[in-house]
């Protein structure tokens, strides 16, 4: 690598310079890989939908926004388990199960163990129940693996950044209820958040 001032190809993320385009492309793929869609991305795409909705309803709703929806994100919504979702929190839980490669629960299992949010949809955020997608928004940019305490500390730094998310205090309360262990990725955190009652 050489400095960006004498190189023909410059990384627009870190400023490193490269003499060959192929080396820049390899650098981008290894040093700055595109992030996989998160539960927060899915919640943004599905914002405005009225729950309950079946998987097919969610796919159709997201497909109507096809000009603004990334194909990888649409494919992720299409991969959701085939069931009816009562709110965005249930969608986030299903995504967490998919990402952690755990066997998705049936709608009957979810109904037996979890209550739908009091307000549903994007309003599924209250101090007692907050969506995994909102937690993902507060924790966006964090590097894994992290301990529970490190997650709480990272979220605490966002108290000064009201633009990032307006529910940081509630997210902190949720993170403090998580089991004390190492979390390997956001899906791992989203899954545990989904298990909280």
pLDDT in tens, the chain (197 residues): 444 456 889 988 788 899 999 998 888 878 877 666 677 778 778 888 888 889 999 999 888 876 666 788 788 888 888 888 888 778 877 877 776 665 555 555 555 545 554 444 333 333 345 677 778 778 877 888 999 999 988 888 766 665 555 567 788 888 888 999 998 888 888 888 877 75
What pLDDT score was predicted for residue 117? 47
List, in order of start, the domains of the chain with CATH numbers.
Answer: 1-33 (3.30.160), 39-195 (no CATH)
CA 196 to chain centre: 17
| Distance, CA of 154 to CA of 139 (rounded, Å) | 7
Match 């820049």 to its residue by tokens.
24
pLDDT tens-digit profile of 38-80?
777 787 788 888 888 899 999 998 888 766 667 887 888 888 8
Q: What pLDDT does 120 receive?
A: 41
9-10 and 17-18: which strand pairing? antiparallel
Q: DSSP assignment of 71-125, as one string?
A: HHHHHHHHTS-SSEESSHHHHHHHHHHHHTTPPPPPHHHHHHH-PPPSS-GGG--
pTM for the model stands at 0.42
User: Do the bridges between strand 53-54 and strand 17-18 make them parallel or antiparallel, or are there none, so unpaired?
Assistant: unpaired
Q: In this predicted model, what pLDDT tens digit does every residue of 164-176 receive, in sequence order?
A: 555 677 888 888 8
**What percent helix, strand, coil does the chain show, rounded to 5?**
50, 5, 45
């Amino acid at each position: 690598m050489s400095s960006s001032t004498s190189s023909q190809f410059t990384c627009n993320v870190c400023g490193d310079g490269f003499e060959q385009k192929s080396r820049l492309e390899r650098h981008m793929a290894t040093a700055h890989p595109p992030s996989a869609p998160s539960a927060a991305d899915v919640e943004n795409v599905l914002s405005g939908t009225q729950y309950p909705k079946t998987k097919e309803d969610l796919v159709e709703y997201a497909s109507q926004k096809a000009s603004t929806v990334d194909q990888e994100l649409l494919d992720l919504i299409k991969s959701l388990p085939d069931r009816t979702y009562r709110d965005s929190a249930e969608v986030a839980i299903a995504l967490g199960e998919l990402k952690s490669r755990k066997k998705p629960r049936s709608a009957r299992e979810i109904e037996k163990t979890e209550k739908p949010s009091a307000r549903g949809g994007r309003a599924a955020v209250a101090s007692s129940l907050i969506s995994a997608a909102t937690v993902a928004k507060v924790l966006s940019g964090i590097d894994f693996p992290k301990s529970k305490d490190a997650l709480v500390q990272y979220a605490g730094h966002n108290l000064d950044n009201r633009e990032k998310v307006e529910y940081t205090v509630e997210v902190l309360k949720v993170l403090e209820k998580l089991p004390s262990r190492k979390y390997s990725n956001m899906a791992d955190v989203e899954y545990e958040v989904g298990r909280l009652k």
